[in-house]
Amino acid sequence: MDRQFRPLAPATGATPTATSTSPANSSRQSNRRRSIVKVACRTCQQKKAKCSGDRPSCTSCVETGISCHYDVEVGESSRYSSLKRKYGKLELEVEQFQELYRTLREQTERDASDILKRIRTTPDAIKVLHMVKQANYLLPNSVGAETNEQTQRLETVERDALRSSHLKVPAHPWTMVTEDGLVSSLISDFFCWDHNLLYSFVDKETFLKEMREGDPQNAIVCSPLLVNAICAERSVCLLAYALNCFTHSPSQFSSPHSKLAECITGKDTREAFFDEAKKLLDMEDGSECLSTVLGLAVLLVYAMYTGRDRLGSVYRYMAFDMLKRLKLEERFRSLGDTEAEMVGRRIISKALWGLHLLDTMISYGFLQPPILPPPGIPRPPLSKFETSSLEAGDHIDLFGHKFGKESPQPPQTPGIADSAYDLCASQFKIMKFNETRDYDSGSDEDISKRNELYRKLMEWKGTIPKMYKITEHVTPHTVALHSQINEVAVSILRPLPSNTWFEDLDGGSTIKDLCIIHAISSIEGAEKCIKIWSPEHYACAFFSAPYNAALHLTPWLNDERTHGPFTQACNMLSVNLPTFPVIGTMLRGIYALVWTLKQNVPDSSRPYFQNLDAPGETVKDVPLSLFLPQFQEVRGRLAGGPNNNNELSGQLGNLISRWNALTIL
C-alpha cells in the first residue's frame, strides 16, 4: 500500500547566512571564547564588571573616564604571583631594616648620631644603609678601621689638619667621609685659592654660617652635596706634600692631609668624597634648590679635572636646566629691603653672576658661546670694607681684614670678580659674533668689526684699578684676570688670517704678531706667580694659562721669538704633572698639534714631551675643555668625512689617537 508523505517546506525566516558558518566566523567565535582575562583591574573587581585587561587602562575605565589600577604587574599571570612578589619585597625590606639596626648598634655614639641625622634628612632609610655599607671605611672611628695603630695615625693627621686650617668647620652632618680636621683644611683651601673668581657663585658668609650651624634642612647655600663636591675638588687641586712621620707614593695626587689619610687607609679620599656626592645627588631625586645647582657646578669642574668630560657635561646641563627652572631673577626682584631679604638678594646675585663667569670660562674651552647669558640683575655688592680697601689699594685676607704678614696666603683682591664679569660680557658678545656673523672671515667688514672690539678691550684694560694689574700686584687672582684678558683678545684675533694687518692702540701689527704677544704675556704672568707661590696650590686658572698660550704659539714655532716662551709654558705644565696626570695628555696633545701643523718642537722643550706614554689610557674622551685652535689644517687631519668637522674640531683625543697611530714620537 502506497504511503504518501506531505512535502516539507523550509523553515520560515531562515537564511543561508544565518544557518551557515563560514571558517572565518568560526575562527572569530573560537578566538572570543579563548580570550580570557585572568586578572581584572581594581575598579572592575569592585563593580564585578567584565574587564578587557588592557594596559595601562582597560576599556571600561577608559569609557567611564576613571583611573585604572592593577594589583598585578605586567608579566604576572595571577594574583598569587603578585602576592609572592610583594612578600619577597617586604621580606627584603625587613632584612635591610634589621641590618640598619645592627649597624647602628655597632657604631660609636658619635657615628650612630651622624647616621640618625642622615636618616632624618633622607626620605628613604634604605639609601642611607647602602651609603654606610659602601663607605664603611670612610669614618676613621667606624667599624672597618683595620688596627688601633691605623686609627691613632689618622687621629694624628686629623689634629694636624685642624690645627693648620684657617677656617674651622664641622664635618658632620655634612659628610661621612672624614672628620673635622680634613674637612676644615679642604674648605679653607677652597676659599683661599679659588673662591674669588672660579667659584665666586658660593656666598662665603652664608655658607660658613650654615655649615657651622649644622642644620642641612634649613640651609640655603650649604648642603651635604656641595660640601662633598668642594672636598673632592680640593683633594684634586692641591699637590700632596709629605710630613716627616709619613711617606707616600708620588704617583697619587690629592690634597696634603687627605693624601696622608689615604696612605694610611689605602683608600682614595678624593674618590670617597666624589662617591658620596654622587649618592647624595641620587638621593635628592631631582629636587630643585640653589644648593644643588652649586654642588653640580663644582662637580662639573671636578669631572673635568679628572678627565671625565662627558660626565661633566651632564652635570653642566643638569645645573643650568635646574637654574632656569628656579627662576632666581624673578625671586630676586620680589625681595624687599629687610636685612634677611638683602642677604637673599646677595646670595642670588652671587650665584647667577658667578655661574655665568664659570660657564664663560668653560665655554672658551669648548669654543662655543656660553649657555648662560649675562644675568639681568645687579652684580653682587661689595661690603663697605671691601669698597674702602679697593679705594685705598689694599688687599684683604680670608677673614675680610686688611692683609698683613700674619694673614693666610694668598692675598684676596677686593672686587676683582666685577672686572671678570665685564670680561665675560665682552667674551659673550665676541663668541656670539664669531658664531653668527653674516659676512666672510677676513673681509673688510669683519676686520673693521674686530678692530672695534679689540680697541674697546684694550681701552677697558687701561681703566681697571691698578691693584688688578700684574704690573702693580701679583696675586693668583690678578694673574687669572690677566690671562682672561689675553684669551678674550685671542678670541677676537684668531679667526683672521695670520698675515692680516690689524690696527691697535700702538699703531698696528699683524694677527700673528698680536697672538704671539698675548701668548707671551700670559706665560710671563703665570711665571711671576710661580716665583711667589709653590705649585702645590695650583688650580685650573694656573695651568690653563700656559696651556692656552702654548697652543696659541704652536702655529708659529718656525719663528724664533716663540721658542723661549713655548719652552717656559711646557715647563710650567710639567711641574704640575704629578698633581694633575691629565697634564700628560695635554702635553701629548700639544705635541700632536705641532705635528699636525707641520711645525717642529724647539730643542729646548723636547725633554717635556718625553716619557709621557700612558699604557692602556683611552684618549677618545679627553676633556673637550682642552681645546684645539680651529685651524683648517687641524680640521682636515681630524675629519674622516665632510660631516665630522663640527664634532671633531674640539676633540683633543681624536688628534692624539691619529698621531699615535703613526707612531710619531
Per-residue pLDDT tens for 146-174?
456 656 666 676 777 777 788 899 998 99
- Render pLDDT for 41-53 as a digit per residue (tens, 0 to 9): 888 888 888 888 8
Q: pLDDT band for position 208 (50/70/90)?
A: very high
564 versus 50: the higher-pLDDT residue is 564
179, 110 contact by CB (below 8 A): no
- Render pLDDT for 215-255 as a digit per residue (tens, 0 to 9): 998 999 999 999 999 999 888 765 433 332 333 333 333 45
The per-residue pLDDT for 629 is 44
The per-residue pLDDT for 522 is 92
Type of residue numbered 154? L
- Find the range with the poorest average confidence among 202-211, 265-274, 561-570: 265-274
- The mean pLDDT of 411-419, rounded to a whole number, is 90
Residues 156 and 251 in one domain: yes
C-alpha cell at position 408: 693666610
Residues 188 and 277 in one domain: yes
Domain membership of residue 80 (yes or no) is: no
CATH number at residue 49: 4.10.240.10
- Find the range with the poorest average confidence among 124-133, 372-381, 620-629: 620-629
The per-residue pLDDT for 127 is 67
The per-residue pLDDT for 645 is 38
The per-residue pLDDT for 333 is 94
C-alpha cell at position 132: 654606610
Contacts 24+ apart (CB under 8 A), 641-645: none
Residues 313 and 344 in one domain: no
| Paired sense of beta strands 509-510 and 501-502, if any | antiparallel
Does residue 619 come out as left (phi exceeding 0), alpha (psi in the -120 to 50 range) or beta? alpha
The per-residue pLDDT for 385 is 85
The per-residue pLDDT for 662 is 43
Which of the listed residues 269, 290, 320 is the one where a domain comes to its end? 320
Domain membership of residue 313 (yes or no) is: yes
166, 311 contact by CB (below 8 A): no
The per-residue pLDDT for 140 is 44
2 versus 85: the higher-pLDDT residue is 85
365, 300 contact by CB (below 8 A): no
The per-residue pLDDT for 533 is 77
Residues 51 and 135 in one domain: no
Domain membership of residue 635 (yes or no) is: no
C-alpha cell at position 49: 564588571
352, 421 contact by CB (below 8 A): no
Q: What is the number of structural domains in the chain?
A: 3
Residues 213 and 180 in one domain: yes
Domain membership of residue 138 (yes or no) is: yes
Residues 50 and 156 in one domain: no
pLDDT at 336 over 70: yes
Domain membership of residue 454 (yes or no) is: no
The per-residue pLDDT for 630 is 42
DSSP 222-290: --HHHHHHHHHHHHHHSPP---TT----TT----HHHHHHHHHH---HHHHHHHHHHHHHHHHTT---H
Instruction: Assign 568 to helix, strand or coil.
Output: helix
Helices (H), 38-146: 42-47, 59-64, 79-106, 109-120, 125-134
pLDDT at 121 over 60: yes
Residues 156 and 269 in one domain: yes
The per-residue pLDDT for 192 is 86
C-alpha cell at position 450: 674686530
Domain membership of residue 512 (yes or no) is: no
Q: Domain range for residue 67?
A: 38-75
Distance CA 280, CA 261 (A): 23
Distance CA 92, CA 489 (A): 62
85, 76 contact by CB (below 8 A): yes
Residues 239 and 187 in one domain: yes
186 versus 72: the higher-pLDDT residue is 186
Is pTM, for the whole model, over 0.85? no
Does residue 415 come out as left (phi exceeding 0), alpha (psi in the -120 to 50 range) or beta? left
Distance CA 309, CA 300 (A): 8
Q: pLDDT band for position 557 (50/70/90)?
A: very high
Residues 293 and 176 in one domain: yes
118, 173 contact by CB (below 8 A): yes
pLDDT at 116 over 70: yes
304, 296 contact by CB (below 8 A): no
Domain membership of residue 242 (yes or no) is: yes
The per-residue pLDDT for 251 is 36
Domain membership of residue 228 (yes or no) is: yes
583, 564 contact by CB (below 8 A): no
Type of residue numbered 394? D
The per-residue pLDDT for 580 is 67
C-alpha cell at position 37: 582575562
- The mean pLDDT of 388-413, rounded to a whole number, is 86
182, 157 contact by CB (below 8 A): yes
Distance CA 7, CA 298 (A): 101
The per-residue pLDDT for 363 is 80
Residues 315 and 368 in one domain: no
pLDDT at 423 over 50: yes
pLDDT at 383 over 50: yes
Residues 244 and 139 in one domain: yes
The per-residue pLDDT for 11 is 62
- Render pLDDT for 502-545 as a digit per residue (tens, 0 to 9): 876 666 788 899 999 999 999 999 888 888 876 556 555 567 78
The per-residue pLDDT for 501 is 86
Residues 348 and 308 in one domain: no
